[in-house]
């Protein structure tokens, strides 16, 4: 009889839902190792606009995969998967439970299912696509993607430039769509009698937290964005601009909130419009996160406003045999 794979916990949810607070409570109650699943928290010097846990919290509850890249660098889902697997293996070897917390749903999916081999990034092709977007707008690029890769276009929102550029880049570099690349990878795995794309060797509890009422989340998003501005978000982006080696097309600066403040500092938006657009963009991010979560199999939901989420979570983890 084969042994049951070791336990791991995924704590997912939309932005501003309370994931970090619940993760910290779980880390107090259980021998958990916290691993960030957030494509913006990887960047150093991007603290306020990403709602990064402060230095005191990180000192008491260290998180893997926070502050591991300079904002001038890129960070892919494949790199995340490799880094997360290493952190999970290290935690498991020390008798701890990997607790993955964050809202970058593509990273969770990559971790669970693996990634098909894709062509490497091509800076010239990417620059051409970004220049085209500047001339014609992102909806035009989305229509182009729909013509060559309808499946990816259905999955990628027109206001998600990072994934949109990557999908078109893959097609222009290789002549094959992302969908075709994935189909070829699956066929190769089947031929080799592989059980899928590098299946995750853990028994995973899938949790998600969000307010039961969407308007409550919208209120929290607006309140948090305004608090970020009070805490010095604009000054944080000014410091990034002052380096001289960053621009609005980089993945780091395209993060929600940062690109709106950058536009404000460029003089393209007034202060009030920047605030409004930042809040709207964050709501759109939350909507995309909900779209991912609605199709997530075996997901156990928690209400952000409940006062007993820790005890509910511990009871659920016992029920699914995550806790011995």
DSSP assignment string, 154-206: HHS-TT-HHHHHHHHHHHHHHSS-HHHHHHHHHHHHHHTT--SSS---SEEEE
Name 57's Cβ contacts closer than 8 Å, sequence gap at least 6.
24
From the number of C-beta atoms within 10 Å of its C-beta (0-12, 13-18, 19+), residue 159 rates as: middle
C-beta separation of 113 from 197 below 8 A: yes
User: Percentage of residues in the chain with pLDDT exceeding 90?
Assistant: 77
pLDDT for residue 17: 97
Range list of H helices, 30-68: 55-60
Q: Which of 25, 55, 88 is nearest to 307 (CA)?
A: 25
* Mean pLDDT computed over 125-149: 93
pLDDT for residue 42: 98
* Mean pLDDT computed over 144-159: 91
Distance CA(59)–CA(63), nearest Å, equals 9
* Mean pLDDT computed over 117-143: 90
Q: In this structure, what are the phi and psi dihedrals at residue 145, rounded to the nearest 5 degrees?
A: -65, -40
Domains in the chain: boundaries: 7-115+197-319, 123-191
User: Percentage of residues in the chain with pLDDT exceeding 70?
Assistant: 96
Distance CA(145)–CA(217), nearest Å, equals 32
Distance CA(307)–CA(302), nearest Å, equals 11
Higher pLDDT, 4 or 116: 4
* Mean pLDDT computed over 254-276: 97
* Mean pLDDT computed over 9-15: 98
pLDDT for residue 308: 96
Predicted structure pTM score: 0.82
pLDDT for residue 197: 42
DSSP code for 267 = T
CATH number among 3.40.50.620, 3.30.465.10, 3.40.50.300, 3.10.450.50, domain 7-115+197-319: 3.40.50.300
Per-residue pLDDT band for 88 (boundaries 50, 70, 90) equals: very high
Per-residue pLDDT band for 121 (boundaries 50, 70, 90) equals: confident
CATH, domain range 123-191: 1.10.20.140
CA distance to 39, 40, 121, 137, per residue, from 74 (Å): 10, 11, 10, 23
Q: What's the N-to-C CA distance of the chain in angstroms? A: 19
Rounded mean pLDDT of the chain? 92
| pLDDT higher than 60, residue 102 | yes
pLDDT for residue 195: 40
pLDDT tens-place string over residues 39-81 = 999 999 999 999 999 999 999 999 999 999 999 998 888 899 9
pLDDT tens-place string over residues 159-214 = 888 889 999 999 998 888 998 888 877 776 665 444 434 579 999 999 999 999 99
pLDDT for residue 193: 43
* Mean pLDDT computed over 25-30: 97
Higher pLDDT, 91 or 185: 91
Which of 125-129, 163-167, 229-233 tops mean pLDDT?
229-233
| pLDDT higher than 90, residue 312 | yes
pLDDT for residue 2: 55
Q: How many CB atoms lie under 10 A from the CB of residue 194?
A: 14
Q: Three-class SS of residue 11?
A: strand
* Mean pLDDT computed over 285-313: 95
Pairing between β-strand 97-101 and β-strand 203-210 as defined by DSSP bridges: unpaired
* Mean pLDDT computed over 70-98: 94
Q: Which of 240, 235, 242 is nearest to 250 (CA)?
A: 240
Distance CA(162)–CA(159), nearest Å, equals 9
């Amino acid at each position: 009889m084969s042994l049951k794979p070791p336990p791991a916990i995924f704590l997912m949810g939309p932005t501003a839902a309370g994931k970090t607070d619940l993760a910290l409570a779980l880390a107090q109650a259980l021998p958990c190792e916290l691993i960030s699943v957030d494509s913006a928290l990887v960047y150093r010097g991007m603290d306020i606009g990403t709602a990064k846990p402060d230095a005191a919290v990180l000192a008491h509850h260290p998180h893997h995969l926070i502050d591991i890249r300079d904002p001038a660098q890129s960070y892919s889902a494949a790199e995340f998967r490799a880094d997360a697997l290493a952190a999970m293996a290290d935690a498991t070897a020390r008798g701890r439970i990997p607790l993955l917390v964050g809202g970058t749903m593509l990273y969770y999916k990559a971790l669970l299912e693996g990634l098909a081999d894709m062509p490497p990034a091509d800076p010239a092709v990417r620059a051409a696509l970004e220049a085209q977007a500047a001339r014609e707008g992102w909806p035009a690029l989305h229509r182009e993607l729909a013509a060559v890769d309808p499946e990816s276009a259905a999955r990628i929102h027109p206001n998600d430039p990072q994934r949109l550029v990557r999908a078109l880049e893959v097609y222009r570099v290789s002549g094959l769509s992302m969908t075709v690349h994935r189909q070829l990878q699956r066929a190769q795995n089947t031929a080799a009698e592989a059980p899928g794309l590098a299946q995750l060797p853990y028994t995973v509890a899938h949790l998600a937290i969000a307010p039961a009422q969407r308007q409550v989340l919208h209120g929290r998003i607006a309140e948090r964005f305004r608090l970020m501005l009070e805490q010095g978000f604009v000054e944080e982006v000014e410091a990034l601009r002052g380096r001289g080696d960053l621009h609005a097309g980089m993945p780091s600066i395209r993060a929600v909130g940062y690109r709106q403040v950058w536009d404000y500092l460029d003089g393209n938006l007034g202060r009030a419009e920047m605030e409004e657009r930042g809040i709207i963009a964050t709501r759109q991010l939350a909507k995309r996160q909900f779209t991912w979560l609605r199709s997530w199999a075996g997901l156990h939901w928690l209400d952000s406003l409940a006062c007993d989420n820790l005890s509910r979570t511990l009871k659920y983890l016992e029920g699914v045999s995550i806790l011995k």
